[in-house]
Amino acid sequence: MLVVLGVGPSASARHHMQLLLKPIEMHSASTFQCMDPHKLNACPRPDSDCLCGLLRTPNIDRLAEEGVRLTQHLAAAPLCTPSRSSFLTGRHSFRSGMEAHDGYRALQWNGGSGGLPENETTFARILQQQGYATGLIGKWHQGVNCESRTDHCHHPLNHGFDYFYGMPFTLVNDCDPGRPPEVDASTRARLWFYTQVAALGVLTIALGKICGLISVPWKAVLGAASLVFLFFVSWYASFGFVRRWNCILMRNHDVTEQPMVLERTAHLMLQEAVSYIER
């Protein structure tokens, strides 16, 4: 979920505006029961009470009634990174380099060097230039760094936002210790398989040496074991700690929780959003 807030006026603003944008990524049609068209048709007011009476949403209904409600939307892409870049800039994602055709259409790591280019104009930057205070609470997933982990060249604060609190990456299965891995899951499975095969080979050679079935120097056995261990460490240092590297919360440029605790993440973001509006 991404919550973008444009709140004004500042000292130089000529108008007062409150803008709340809340795009929600639907992972399945069963996420909300009112996705069922039959239940929508049965609702006396399909545009209110998100769960058709199962869950009352009076405050959201009031926002819709007092503000501008957009009922039609065409997403630029079916997943996070490219659709969000288009939403922020009003341009097709391939024009800003935020699209790919190699199976990696969404950014996979916080430590990656890709992200929304600094020269892209976002609607947040336009609001900021008009004197409005802008804040982003929620998920970014448009990259963080360029050349080092501290340059934050793709950070929200470099794209027109005065304040940021939330996930610089995204919410994946790896963020929940009880769920199967998601980030490069097939690559991770292959690497683990190769490690097991190599370790089994070294153990077989060592047993053959002990039983006198083969004549191999112990230095060679230990060397092979060391190579297998180094191979394991080389990939496990990243894939074994996906939750720590990717599942974090930030406030502006500072990491506030690493890894984040999912049970309280939504509550923390709600508190931040309310606090930002009140400020």
Q: Residue 217 is encoded by which pair of tokens?
A: 């120097």
CB-neighbour burial class of residue 82 (10 A; exposed 0-12, middle 13-18, buried 19+)? buried
Output the 3-class SS for the chain. CEEEEEECCCCCCCCCCEEEECCCCCCCCCCCHHHCHHHHHHCCCCCCCCCCCCCCCHHHHHHHHHCCCCCCCCCCCCCHHHHHHHHHHCCCHHHHCCCCCCCCCCCCCCCCCCCCCCCCCCHHHHHHHCCCEEEEEEECCCCCCCCCCCCCCCCHHHCCCCEEEEECCCCCHHHCCCCCCCCCHHHHHHHHHHHHHHHHHHHHHHHHHHCCCCCCCHHHHHHHHHHHHHHHHHHHHHHCCHHHHHCCEEECCEEEECCCCHHHHHHHHHHHHHHHHHC
Between CA 107 and CA 110 the distance in angstroms is 8
User: 3: which strand partners?
Assistant: 137
Does residue 267 have an active-site annotation? no
* Annotated active-site residue in 141, 154, 155, 159: 141
* Annotated active-site residue in 80, 154, 155, 159: 80
Between CA 150 and CA 148 the distance in angstroms is 5
Does residue 141 have an active-site annotation? yes
Between CA 204 and CA 198 the distance in angstroms is 10
| Catalytic residue numbers, as ranges | 80, 141
